[in-house]
A = this chain, B = another copy of it.
């Protein structure tokens, strides 16, 4: 008997999370001998609990070609953690729903927390001897999943960060007869992969960004100010990249120090980012012109800097998930295994999802240098292949044409 596919997206979106969806859907629709219907969960497992699903058919999917270059989660997302206790009623309710929809293959596209969902559902399936196969398809701009060389979403986010920092450095240098400091705050609360990517922005050795600070190394304000002061002597328009998650190594984020600064009209503490805090610090200690720029959500949703390598791998990862499930694998996450750097060669694999969920992979200590203020060439060799290749996003009336679900 033919079975149906259920696919969902979860957690924060990326520029290529829909590439993975496209990969799952297009591959699944090929296997008409075993797969009857492809269902998408609207707003992930949380939506599915409320029977919020859509059919994705070959016929109705003329607009689906645009999905692969559309940022955000086409199916909608959720942040919903399943209970630790596998005896909780929610599991029997979910599996009853799976049965009603005749689901044979379940694909969940997401990061850490989403892999936790895949882990729990596959363990419950084992417990009740359900034949449904559960596969995780990774995505995260943070690149912090273990047992995979990298994750889809990181390459395009890296490319966005490197491109934007290069442009900001040029913008900052137009008044090159005056000293200035520009602090760029980059996403990544616990892992510094994305911030480290700013090193790719250098056009030549010694170019901006001169200083780069990751959350993996304890941040020291005095060392920071001393480095800024020294660097300004040779680079009058200094660009410093910092992770939003820089911390003192004792569990306190640098931005938390900003809450001492003051309150607004409503009596709320001024919750500013790490960049704003360091902007004020530099102004106070060195008295030079300084500004901070928060790259914000465009890091995960810009379609203008898509990496072709990243998009192709995200599509391939989704497709590989379907093939793995059809081969009988379950409780697995699709992994990306690097065979070589030059030329860049990668192979898809599968890894036990139970070993991945709730783990975090930081930037290796040996790739961080200069007392925690710079990144080594080994990182560049690692990250550079992932940003290669441009993607032509379909345009309409001068702007990118994006797919969207018609909502009622």
Q: Chain A: residues with CB nearer than 8 A to chain B?
A: 9, 12-13, 43, 46-47, 52, 70-73, 76-79, 159, 162-164, 166-168, 170-171, 173-177, 200-201, 203, 257-259, 264-266, 268, 277, 280-281, 283-284, 293-294, 296-298, 300-305, 307, 384, 387-390, 395, 397-400, 402, 404, 407
Cα distance A404–B200 in the bound complex, in angstroms: 17
* Chain B residues with CB under 8 A of A73: 174
Cα distance A163–B301 in the bound complex, in angstroms: 11
* Chain B residues with CB under 8 A of A303: 163, 167
Instruction: Give 16 A-B contacts (CB < 8 Å), ordered by A residue.
Output: A43-B175, A70-B170, A76-B174, A76-B176, A78-B177, A163-B303, A164-B298, A166-B399, A170-B404, A264-B277, A266-B283, A268-B280, A293-B296, A294-B296, A384-B398, A387-B399
Copy tally for this chain in the complex stands at 2
Q: Which of A9, A174, A259, A307 has the most CB of B within 10 A?
A: A174
B402 with A170: CB separation less than 8 A: yes
A159-B399, A168-B298 provided; 16 other pairs, C-beta below 8 A? A47-B177, A72-B174, A76-B173, A167-B298, A170-B402, A200-B398, A201-B399, A258-B264, A264-B277, A266-B281, A266-B284, A268-B284, A304-B305, A307-B398, A387-B399, A389-B398
Which B residue's beta carbon lies closest to that of A177? B43
- Pick the residue among B47, B168, B304, B390 that contacts A297 (CB under 8 A): B168
Contact of A293 with B304 at beta-carbon distance under 8 Å, contacts A170-B72, A203-B402, A387-B398 already known: no
